[in-house]
Every structure is written in structure tokens, then in C-alpha cells.
Amino acid sequence: MDSQNTCMALLQCESEPEVQRVLDTTPEMSDPANWRPIDGRESNFNVVTNQASTGSKALTELCTNMVDAVLMKHAHERSVPLRGQNAPQSVLEGVRRLVALPGTMTGRLADADSDRPLREFATQNLVIGVTGGTRRDDSLCFTFVDNGEGQHPSEFHSTFLSLSTGTKTDIPFVQGKYNMGSSGVLSYCGERWFKLIVSKRYSRDGNWGWTLVRRRPTSGAPIAEYFSLDNAIQEFEVEWIMPLMLNSGQPDDVVAPRSGTIIKLYDYQMESTVSFRNFREALNLNLVSTVLPIRLMDYRYPAARSRGGRRAIGVDERPLYGIEYQLLKNHAQDPEFTPNESDDVQGERNHIGRISDPYLGRINISAIVLPKDLPGWLRPSNTRERVFHSVNGQVQFTEGRNYVSTRCRLPGLKDRIILIVDASELTETAHNDVWKGDRENIRHTRQGGLYVNAVTETIRNSQYLKDLQHRLREEELDNVVSQGSTELFQSLVNEDPNVAQLLPYGELVTTPRGPTQGPEEYVGRFSPTILRLVGRALRENGVDIAVGGRRRVTFETDVVNDYLDRPDNRGDVLTTSGLSRLGYDCSLSNGRLVVNFSCVNDPNLVGTTLVGRLGLTDDSMFQPIFEDVEFNVLADRQPAPPGPPRSPRPVDPTPHVEPPQTKWMTRDGRRVDEAETEVWPEDYGDQDGGTVTDLGDDIKLYCINYDNAHFMNFLARQPNELSRRVATEQYRLAMLVSMLSIEDAFNRMESSQSKTELEEHIDEIRRLHAQSSATVVMTLTRTLPEIVNPSAIEDPDDS
């Protein structure tokens, strides 16, 4: 068998049938005796088929392996040990010490000064080529090319073809330590699981080795096996390999590794929501950060000389850096992008809180604020994920919009923030106890619940997020209701007080609000000079905390808000040994460091006093600043005595209420009666009735579709301007009452699993209800009274 030609023929295949033809015409590969089960196990299917639940998630495992290979190569070349105290102790430290990307002193891609050095590094070291069909139903082929450490042919069995030997478990600066990522993609590689592996050691003191993995064709059980002629991995000698082909039929010499690893996946199956263009976003949703920059090169496009760059030869290049970079930066600076192709946000990272717990370790939570007009890949119709739990950049678990709205009690932010929960510093025990083996879910155990509750409480209690929700709500509500609409709604309530019961809370009618004056912007110091426990009684008598309980303590400081999360010279919170039995989470906002302490559940601590110090420090400070704090450990903390009862509120037989806030929606955002309007969402049309936006604190904004086709037809039949104005207000109020009714019905539902499931789809339910209401409200409001009246139903015998 000509080893080199066979390998090159397999690299040029673009479908399962093409690969099968190579096997059928190569006697050695068509002989079942030359195929061996991966890991030497006939039952390897229980590992291979029990990993990632989606094709995009499985692909990110390969991205992780590529990055690890490059980091380890740089460690070898710099003679830096892979293990032990002298090795980099985290992934970020590994990036800083081993790779030192220009403009990224912190090691985080999102902190890079420019995209250019990232683009150049990715092209030379980490490339994913996309080939295959161009129609939606066509399968794709992915070719992963890394300029990493590579493997000698003799090492394939213990690396690429192993399921149980954890070769990286004790290397602290890599991500993939579970030795399964290479096999997790197999069940998504068409029906036959074809995957080609080609590799050469970075030292170039050996040959290229290769093998093909497949699903055993003669077995009912899904057994993964690989080609091994005479119990050896095939090899050949060549200086470089060009694994990707241009539309012209010529090899692409931009991607021509002299060593490293090439992995090709055939007829790869992605989830149904992934389209021709958005597979980059599907990968990003599984990667907070790729740690090192990766270049996506899509060869499915026709040559377009007018586009310039690589598009002129039919290659569409895009960066793959993870969701954090895509949200914080603008890829449009990449010359391969045109402005209308950029789907990035250019947001800002904000510190939400830090959790420090004796069992859990450290957890950092940050938020990225999204624009009101979400990019397509973040719209609810495409993804509901809003909270990303990650370890070393790789997403381990996600929570959706409903979690932000209900568990965190921030409904006004469910489509305005992305929350990133960095769990990279969990203790080893917590890491194994919290995450399930599929690395996509949290265990439903006491330990998993402890992690989820700690994160949820920190998000829910974040003053920054509460203030953000309030600010966004005020922006939405400014000048959206006219005085005339208020009076009309009050008249409706006077006629039928039951309408008031549809409102969450009735308040006295007020004049329309004007533009709000926000608080003066807080400006803090780069490093803190003040740290003081707030509360004289707490300073003098100590802080009471119950065994197994929590206690919030506030400290005054003068440092900037992003002190604990900024990219350069990041600050840290310290506690001395006297407080070692206390865990804590903290958040910093406008000169207030709020620390939620939690006490271990140890009855022996009852009656003791924990004396220690809490401090702040960063690398630019000569020494940390500390504040003394004492905790009195109690069996059960007594609640504060209740205050005097409130005076009963006088009952008004005719409730005076403030109507819900309403706003017109139009197809083009034009003004209606001099009032600003909302532009239709991208997928809305003239059959829709409106939307309901939950702004938090039981306040909702009701947007009613002015350009609804049924209303427009009714309006066109009105004889004069006065009739049109009357019809418009009738339509507005009728739609509002109808939309209020479904909100009231849903709120009255008892809490249950059914309600939780409905809540995940409440926006779709609201849309359908508004759509059906808009079809009939004018008929019910105007036409029905005209045809159904006393004279129409009066019996002549009654007169």
C-alpha cells in the first residue's frame, strides 16, 4: 500500500461515499483484520456515544485539544516543565508565559489591543477548514489543523486512540484533561464515523503518521475502530502537507504545516438550528474563550474578485475567539469582514461578584450588557442561553432567559445581559462533585445545589444589576404615555372597576414622567486607600452570624467599580486565617464593597468569636489595606423585632390606577401623533398584534402594532380624521386590556412544573395571543355593538 498517496486521497475526500471508495479500492483497508477497536476495547461505544449532546459542543472539544497542543509545544520549546511547581499554574498563566501574544498582557483574548496579531498567530497555528456542500441539507467536512506538539506514529495508541489514559490530568495549564475530546465527535461523523488523523512531532525527528477511524460496519453495536496495518500506524516522509483545497482545485498553500496535527471529520452533523453561515456562532456559544485565537476558513464560497482578500479565491475567513471576544470587540476591524457581515456587540465587561468558599474555591461572575437590538444569533428565536458557566474558557453549563427572569428576579435583563460565571478556580473536589461527566450539566446533588445557589444569590443580590434594570426601565418608560391615554384608561376603570384587577398593583394616577435625571457618575481611585466596615454597632460589637447561615456586610471604599475584574492589574479580596471557617461572595459598586459571608455548618463553632481581617490588594500597592472584623457565631441568628403595624390604607370604591405603559410599534419606526414608536422586531409582520416587555418590579411595557393589517383596513374605512382618532384609541385600549388579561391569567397560575415550562415560552404565548386579539378587537369594539343591540334582539311581543 502506498501510505502517502492513500493518506492524501483521504484528505481530498469530501463525503462518506468518497472515503468508502478509497477503502474499497485499497485491499489493505478493506480487510477487517487490519482494523482494531479504539482503546483496545470492544465495548468502547459506552464512552464514544455518551459525551457531547450536540455536534457543535463536540467540535469545541477538538478546539480545546488544538489549543492544548500549541501550549504544550511552546512549553517544550522553552524548556518549561509541564508539571510541578515550575510549570504555569493556570491556563492564563500558560498563555502569558509560553505564547506571549502581542497586545495581550493579561492572557485574555478579549483584552487584546488589536486583532492583527491574533489573526496572524491563528493563521500560522490554529485553523479550522470548512468544506462540503453549499445547500442547507448538505453535510459539512471540518479539517482541524494545529501547529502544536504533534505525536510520533508510535504514540498514537496512547494519545489520539486512547479513552482511558489521562495524559494531561496533572498539567495545570491545559484545558482538556479527560482524554475523551478526540472521540466525542465520532457519533456526529455521518453514519460511518469516518475521522482521519494525521500527525507529526514538533521536533520533526520522525515521519508523519496517520490512521482512519470508523464505525465497525459488521457489528450491530456502535464500536469505534481504527486502521492499523501489521499492528502499526501508517507513516510516510514529506516536508509539509497542504490539507485544504481551493475551488480552483489547487492546494491552499496558506495552510501548510510542517508538523503538528490534522484531523478531518466527514459528513459532520450539526444541530438543526445551525445554518450555512452561523456555525461560528454555534461554536462560540460553547466557548467563552478559545484561550488562543483560531481561524475559520470556509472554502464553500465561489470566488469573488470584487470582494478582495481571500474571498477573491473563494475562501471566507472569520475569527473564532469565543463568545466573550465577540461580545466585547468588533470583528469588523478584520479586513476579511465587510461592515454588514459583522454580528458583534462591542459591549463592556462589568464585575458582578466573586465567591470564595472553603469547599467550592473561587468563582468570578461578570456581565456583558447587550444592545436593545440584539444580533441575530442572540435573539430568543435562535438561542435562549444567557448565563455561561465556564472552566478555562470552555462552557460547562448554561442557563436561559427564564433563569435570569425568575430565579435571579431580573426579568428586565433577560435579553439585555450575558452573564459569564468563571469556575476555573473551583477546588478539585468541587470540580468533580459539581459537573457531570458530559461536562454539559450540573449534578443534582447537595454539592451541585450549593454551587448553583451560591451563583444565583450573587447574581440576584448584585446592586449593579438591580441598578441596571432600573435604568433600562426608566429609559423605556420616558414619555411613552400621553396624558390623554391616562385619562381614557381611568375612564375605562371607572366604568368597569374589574379592569383594575388586571394590574399587578394599582397606584394613584400621576402625570406623565419626563426624562429622568440619573445620579452623578461615581469616579473611583485606581487602587483603594479606604476600607471601612459600615455600621458603628458592627464595628463595636461584632457581626452576628449563624452556624450554616449567611450574613451580608458592607465596607466603604474608594476604588473604581471594575477593580476586581479589570484586565490589567486586577484587584483581589483577602481574608486572614482567623476567618478561614467563613466563605464569602462579594460585589463592588460605587464605593461599596458588599460581602456575603457564609459560616460552615459546624455546631462546635457556636459561642465562639472569629477574629480576622478583610483586605484589598493589587500589584501596584506597596501593601494591602485591611479592616478588622469580628464574627459572633450563634446557633440561630435572631431576626430584628417587627416595627409598628402600618396604618390601613383607605378603601376607594372607584380605584385610581396608573395604566400600564404603552407604546406604538411600526414597520419603519416613524412617529405616530408626534410620539416615538418602536421598530418591528426582525421577524414581525402586519399580522402581529404587539409585544410585552417585562422591565422588572412588576412593570411591563406593552407595545401595540399600529401597522397591523386588520387595524389598517378598519382605519381606512373611517370617514374623517376624528373617526380615525377615536378608532385608534379604541384599538389601543382594547388591545391593552386583552394583553393584560393573559398576563393576569398567567400570574394567577399556581407555581408548578407546568407553569415553569410555560414561562420558558411566555414570549411566544404573548405574541400568539396579541396576534389573535388584533384580528378581532375592532370587530368586538365597534361592529358587534352595531349589529347586536336592543333593537336587534327585541322580541316584538315584548313591546
Q: Where in the chain is the domain with CATH 2.60.40.10?
A: 531-634
pLDDT tens digit string along 279-301? 788 888 889 988 999 999 999 88
Into which CATH architecture does domain 3-341 fall?
2-Layer Sandwich (3.30)
Mean pLDDT, rounded, for 424-445: 86
pLDDT at 755: 80
Using the predicted structure, report yes or no on whether residue 799 has a pLDDT greater than 80: no
Mean pLDDT, rounded, for 111-121: 87
- Residue 715 burial by Cβ neighbours in a 10 Å radius (0-12, 13-18, 19+): middle
Using the predicted structure, report yes or no on whether residue 516 has a pLDDT greater than 80: no
Asked if 546 and 592 touch (Cβ cutoff 8 Å), the reply is: no
pLDDT at 304: 82
Cβ-based neighbour number of residue 339 at 10 Å: 7
Asked if 37 and 48 touch (Cβ cutoff 8 Å), the reply is: no
Give which of 166, 215, 186 is closest to 50, Cα–Cα: 186
Task: Give dist(CA 738, CA 482) in Å, integer.
Answer: 20
Most confident of 209-223, 308-322, 323-337, 609-623: 609-623
pLDDT at 333: 43
Task: Give dist(CA 564, CA 464) in Å, integer.
Answer: 14
pLDDT at 483: 47
- Residue 750 burial by Cβ neighbours in a 10 Å radius (0-12, 13-18, 19+): exposed
Give which of 493, 528, 547, 523 is closest to 656, Cα–Cα: 493
Cβ-based neighbour number of residue 797 at 10 Å: 5
Using the predicted structure, report yes or no on whether residue 207 has a pLDDT greater than 50: yes
| Residue 50: band (very low, low, confident or very high) from pLDDT cuts 50, 70, 90 | low
Contacts of 742 (CB under 8 A, 6+ apart): 765, 766, 769
Q: Where in the chain is the domain with CATH 3.30.565.10?
A: 3-341
Asked if 568 and 106 touch (Cβ cutoff 8 Å), the reply is: yes
pLDDT at 214: 94
Find residue 704's DSSP bridge partners.
Answer: 664, 690
Domain 531-634: homologous superfamily in CATH: Immunoglobulins (2.60.40.10)
Using the predicted structure, report yes or no on whether residue 727 has a pLDDT greater than 90: no
Mean pLDDT, rounded, for 476-484: 58
Mean pLDDT, rounded, for 235-256: 94
Asked if 421 and 363 touch (Cβ cutoff 8 Å), the reply is: yes
What percent of the chain stands above pLDDT 70?
84
Segment among 331-345, 673-687, 717-731 with least mean pLDDT:
331-345
* Mean pLDDT for the chain overall: 84
Mean pLDDT, rounded, for 30-41: 90
Which three cell numbers, joined as nine digits, stand for 224? 469505534
| Residue 480: band (very low, low, confident or very high) from pLDDT cuts 50, 70, 90 | low
pLDDT at 510: 40
pLDDT tens digit string along 741-775? 888 888 888 777 788 778 878 888 888 988 888 88
Which three cell numbers, joined as nine digits, stand for 61? 472539544
Using the predicted structure, report yes or no on whether residue 84 has a pLDDT greater than 70: yes
Give which of 389, 364, 390, 359 is closest to 573, Cα–Cα: 364
Higher pLDDT, 347 or 558: 558
| Residue 796: band (very low, low, confident or very high) from pLDDT cuts 50, 70, 90 | low
Any idea what DSSP says for residue 131? Answer: E
| Residue 199: band (very low, low, confident or very high) from pLDDT cuts 50, 70, 90 | very high
Using the predicted structure, report yes or no on whether residue 482 has a pLDDT greater than 70: no
Using the predicted structure, report yes or no on whether residue 681 has a pLDDT greater than 70: yes
Segment among 19-33, 147-161, 454-468, 564-578 with least mean pLDDT:
564-578
pLDDT at 647: 62
Does residue 30 sit in helix, strand or coil? helix
| Residue 484: band (very low, low, confident or very high) from pLDDT cuts 50, 70, 90 | low
| Residue 418: band (very low, low, confident or very high) from pLDDT cuts 50, 70, 90 | very high
pLDDT tens digit string along 15-25? 999 999 999 99
pLDDT at 292: 93
Q: What is the CA radius of gyration of the chain?
A: 31
Strand order in the sheet with 661-666: 678-679, 661-666, 699-705, 690-696
Mean pLDDT, rounded, for 231-244: 94
